[in-house]
Amino acid sequence: MTQPQVQVFGPLQVLSGGRAARIGAWRQRAILGRLVLAGGKTLGADRLIEDVWEGDPPPRAPSVLQVQIHNLRRVLEPARRPRSPARILVSEGSGYALRLDSGNVDAWRFEALLREYEERAHDPGARPTPLERYRMLDAALDCWHGEAFESFADASWAAAEVSRLTDLRATAIELRAQAALELDRPGEVVAVLRPQAEESPGREESARLLALAQYRLGRQVEALATLRRTRDYLRAEYGIDPGPRLAELESAILNQAVSTEELIERGELPVAGSKSGAERAENESMAPNSDVAQALSESMCYPRQRGAIRAAATEAGAGDLRLIWMVGEVGAGKTSVARAALGELAAAGWVVAYGRAAMVDGAPPAWAWTEVLGDLGGVSGHAGIEDPFTIVREVTGRCRDLIRRSPVAIVVEDMHRADPATLQVLRQLVTWLQHAPVLIIVTARGPEPAPALHATEAALADRMTARLELTGVDMAGTLEIARDAGLLTLDGNTLRMLHDRTRGNPLFVRELSKLMVAQGDATSLPESVRAVLGERIARLPREVRTVLQHMAVWGRAVDGDTLAVLAGMAEDELIDRVDIAIDAGLVRFDDRGRIELGHTLIRDTVYDATSLLRRTRMHWEAVELIEQRGADLESGGDPGLLAYHAARGASRATAERALAHVTAAAREGGRLGPCADVVELWRSVVLLHEFAGHTRPSADRGDRRDLLEALCELTRALAYDGQAVAARAVRERALDLAEHLGGDGPVLRALTCWDAPAIRGIRDWAGAGARMRAALDSALTRVTSDPMRARLLIAAVYESELDGDAVRMYERACCAVDLAHTTGDAELLCAALNAVAYTVTGPAGLDGWRQTAAEMVRVARGAGLADYEALGHYLHLRAACRDGDLRAAGRHAAAALECAANGRSRPLLDVLLSFAAALEVVRGDLAAAEAGYRLFDARMRHAGVANEDVALVIGAVTVGWARGDLSGAVEAIGALYDSNPELWAQLYTVALLHHGEAERARAIFERYTEVRRDFFWQTMAVFRARAAIALGAVRVGGELLAELRPFSGMLAGFGSGAVYLGPMDALLADLAELCDDPAAARSYRFAADALVRRLRGDVDSLGVLLDFREDLTAGEAGAVKIDCG
């Protein structure tokens, strides 16, 4: 069972499957908040009632409490069957308790991470480095999304806990600031600590660290002022003087005698006397640049993100390129933060340049970089340079000329709209200028980037100084924005209401503030920004609103002539209406003189406020206009535009015409490559068939065949987009229709429509799957055509996963390869090789992969099949992981990413996230690994993959194994065991042992004595071996020692590319000790230690996430040239 995420830092939220669940009234929310505050302990019903009703419960409070508990259980466990026992909000004795993992409640996770930090910080044998301490504390502070128990600010039961957690957070910020100072990041410390020191002048440690950072940036006067403010406050409020450390620092500053001893953290965690070469190199690259640090302003909006930009600018000014990747939703403030940084750097003497991805179709390639080039004083962006290589060479040349005089800062905005050439220039520019004093800031709209942008971000991960997410400003930032909008008087309650309703989105804050200024009454605040915009729009004359409706329905920028026809207005009349909308701040002109709504939120507000009947009519009027005058209209020849309106404007009378347009657009999109847009187009085709009545048995057979084809194409598009669960459901529907149509043709089409590369399982293990297997087996008895038999065999392989005969699966896959060779169809051959790789098992399995992968890469490259070439490199990567060859794995990861960026399949990009997380486990940075696995989990939930519960346990098991404790994942593993005991018994046994349930673990260990010989055999054998060691099962240990000995020198679990369980030799050493063979144990232990040292050296040499782009020198063993055709 996948547990929900509960957030009490900021507004109360319950996130399930990545989506916010709907929680009921305040009382229900208070019950959940109070149970979170209990920390997982049982809270008596009487105490719960007393707190929730603030000491004045009504007579029926116990009954109301039971009802609210029942409703909360539905929120927390939406999939729980009726009358089955609750597993999250449980009844114990006369009370209730939350049974959630600490990682699933932000407040609990925060404290758990701080406890881990304290344990490591005070462990003399494993004292963390400053960089490790910084990352650990940063991970803890990332748990905060607002104030502690923000939804219960007025509840008396929360007051003490809010105070405690707030103080704990302030302490963590101070500890992180200390680590940042040790890493030579004073600019960041100033940005982060200034608000805290000003808000809490009595915190002496905040004042000390802030003053020290200011002094190191050359701001001696500011440092002394900081210390003086704290001294004055303590004297005025408490009649005391500051502690000796502040007095000593003040004296040292006055005498210009601040020593490095001032960096020692409160006497609790002295800086290590020596540093590794990697640490020294990192610290040397962060030498302070006081001019830059002073130039960047101390805005109250996004202080942490601005501090990160300041730190990156400081580092870039020292001589090495720094890359900032900034993402956020519409209105989050990306442009404001980026342009403010440019302005401040320009004032500090930097050369600055700005570019923006084109917002219109038909722009020249890499248009953003031609704008940058123009700002840098190179060839004008309008001079017609359209070749990406020429552009990047020109930009690089201009930068190298300019950095002789001063550093260069470049902002490239709206990269979510970037064309491939823009991304290519970015990747190459970062490589060519990596040792130049250049800062590049990239902005993109979140949260889900396009595959090409996703691949670019992954490829540049090791060059990325910081990935900044703008998720909303805090209360101080809200106040600043409101005042800038003219709302000069704002009390605490109104400010809190403004912040809560906007969640800190700067655009929303600004729009709400403007309305408050206009009306002068806070009580008229609407419930959302949509309401704000709706009210502004409602004040406009009806004729202007009609123009906005036509623009919203058109959906993109529109030229004046087209808009006049749509609105049925004369040109002069239209100009008058548009002028009014421009004055209202709702409409603007784009770079090509076309008219567009100010932003997407305005468009959505207008569109949703237009009645469905009116919208439908307007969409169909747009269809008829494009049909009649398409050649004369700008963008009129775009089949996507015609399909957009046809899908939304069709009626039963016009459904057939609409079908023709939408089907044509879907096929055109499919030729360019299946993606999310193509999925939506094929969904629209299916819906239009239903609208036209083609699902009825009495419908024309040709129409029903067309519906079958649409279902098959939708299955294919969903599979390429990684939506396996949805794809299976559509394919089942296609098979139903095909069987009703009758004949082999329709049935064969439905059975073989899933032709996307298979990166991971596509069958739901909990489902029967018998119907699909039976249909495939039946078809194979009738079909004689080699191409069709090959396709059927490939489909049968995937449908037999886990509960099929592994030998038979392998034989079928090999037969498919033989048949595909006779057809000359490269794509079919690659699909058959994919199936072979999927079925290879046993000790030599990954060796077989290498041969299969090599042939796949060769065939795919020759035929220009980027997705299969990427898959071939991924197979090579997994084999290299098993053998501990991280350099080879890095090269193949780079090649896979490069090819995936040019292909259509999203799943490969997703699984490489787990590889990156596993590398952090190899490195030993478990906090970074957890963050990486969380990103992987989010993608799995978003995509809707098959067996999602298995995918979501990968990170917990890998990180827990590295810590030697799987108890935190025992519930999730237990749910897997309940669904398939034979498969998961060995893993569950270990988890139970770590959870302290030795007797139950022994019972399962003795019941399930055989490890299934399937895809999971080696990994499950490792778990059984570890259980045997813990239980003292000498006989079982001896058997496993013999079976696992051939894997000596390899890495357990890493052949998956996602799970790292350490060197097999470490396990063999423990097994040898169990079997009383100390000599063998010593030999294995020595080999394991040597392998770990080599692995960590390899990871460090390849960068934070490996350099996926750089070709290795020809002299290195196994070097390959990345070439994706």
CATH number, domain containing residue 918: 1.25.40
Q: Mind listing the pLDDT tens digit for each residue in 849-861?
A: 788 999 999 999 9
Q: Mind listing the pLDDT tens digit for each residue in 565-596?
A: 899 899 889 899 998 888 776 888 887 888 98
The C-alpha atoms of residue 155 and residue 277 are separated, in whole angstroms, by 52
Tell me 43's DSSP state. E
Structure tokens at 491: 């009390």
**End-to-end Cα spacing for the chain:** 44
Q: What is the 3-state secondary structure (H, E, C) of 716-759?
A: HHHHHCCCHHHHHHHHHHHHHHHHHHCCHHHHHHHHCCCCCCCC
Q: Mind listing the pLDDT tens digit for each residue in 227-241?
A: 888 888 888 877 787
Average pLDDT, the chain: 81
Residue 56 sits in a domain of what CATH number? 1.10.10.10
CA distances from 92 to 36, 596, 806 (A): 16, 59, 46
Residue 59, in any domain of the structure: yes
pLDDT band at 524 (very low <50, low <70, confident <90, very high): very low
Say yes or no: 519 and 461 in one domain.
no
Say yes or no: 343 and 411 in one domain.
yes
Q: What is the 3-state secondary structure (H, E, C) of 905-973?
A: CCHHHHHHHHHHHHHHHHHCCHHHHHHHHHHHHHHHHHHCCCCHHHHCCHHHHHHHHHHCCCHHHHHHH
The C-alpha atoms of residue 40 and residue 3 are separated, in whole angstroms, by 14
pLDDT at 449: 58
Q: At what angle do helices 130-141 and 277-284 cross, to 10 degrees?
A: 70
Range of the domain at 59: 1-183
Say yes or no: 1029 and 955 in one domain.
yes
Say yes or no: 417 and 505 in one domain.
no
Residues 271, 277, 282, 283: is their CA dihedral positive or negative?
A: positive
pLDDT band at 1056 (very low <50, low <70, confident <90, very high): confident
Name the more confident of 949 and 195: 195
How many folded domains does the chain comprise? 5
pLDDT at 452: 79
pLDDT at 905: 72
Say yes or no: 432 and 483 in one domain.
no
pLDDT band at 825 (very low <50, low <70, confident <90, very high): very high
Cβ–Cβ < 8 Å for 959, 930: yes
Name the more confident of 201 and 478: 201
Residue 327 sits in a domain of what CATH number? 3.40.50.300
- Does residue 995 carry a pLDDT above 80? yes
CA distances from 1041 to 1067, 1071, 1073 (A): 9, 6, 11
Phi, psi angles (nearest 5°) of residue 555: 90, -5
Residue 17, in any domain of the structure: yes
Name the more confident of 956 and 183: 956
Residue 189, in any domain of the structure: no
Name the more confident of 1074 and 469: 1074
The C-alpha atoms of residue 919 and residue 640 are separated, in whole angstroms, by 42
- Does residue 383 carry a pLDDT above 50? no
pLDDT band at 1116 (very low <50, low <70, confident <90, very high): very low
Q: Mind listing the pLDDT tens digit for each residue in 599-631?
A: 666 787 788 888 889 999 999 999 999 888 765
- Domain C-terminal end among 429, 447, 470: 470
Task: Return the minimum-mean-pLDDT range out of 158-167, 951-960, 1095-1104.
Answer: 1095-1104
Residues 1106, 1108, 1114, 1118: is their CA dihedral positive or negative?
A: positive
Say yes or no: 432 and 521 in one domain.
no
Cβ–Cβ < 8 Å for 281, 275: no
- Does residue 787 carry a pLDDT above 90? yes
Of 1022, 998, 997, 1001, nearest to 1011 (Cα)? Answer: 1022
The C-alpha R_g of the chain, in whole angstroms, comes to: 31
Cβ–Cβ < 8 Å for 307, 198: no
pLDDT at 1005: 94
pLDDT at 451: 75
According to DSSP, the β-strands at 322-328 and 351-356 are unpaired
Say yes or no: 481 and 466 in one domain.
no
The C-alpha atoms of residue 240 and residue 247 are separated, in whole angstroms, by 13
Say yes or no: 750 and 638 in one domain.
yes
Tell me 1110's DSSP state. P
Say yes or no: 430 and 498 in one domain.
no
- Tokens 């600490």, residue located: 102
The C-alpha atoms of residue 1117 and residue 985 are separated, in whole angstroms, by 41
Say yes or no: 973 and 1018 in one domain.
yes
Say yes or no: 915 and 1036 in one domain.
yes
pLDDT at 11: 84
pLDDT at 500: 62
pLDDT at 468: 87
Name the more confident of 706 and 82: 706
pLDDT at 446: 64
Q: Environment class of residue 1042 by beta-carbon count within 10 Å: exposed (0-12), middle (13-18) or buried (19+)?
A: exposed
Residue 149, in any domain of the structure: yes
Q: Which positions ≥6 away from 11 have C-beta within 8 Å?
A: 146, 150, 151, 500, 503
Say yes or no: 907 and 1050 in one domain.
yes
- Does residue 271 carry a pLDDT above 60? no
Residue 931, in any domain of the structure: yes
Of 565, 623, 561, 572, nearest to 595 (Cα)? Answer: 561
Cβ–Cβ < 8 Å for 485, 513: yes
Residue 997, in any domain of the structure: yes
pLDDT at 493: 60
Q: What is the 3-state secondary structure (H, E, C) of 295-358?
A: HCCCCCCCHHHHHHHHHHHHHHHCCCCEEEEEEECCCCCHHHHHHHHHHHHHHCCCEEEEEECC
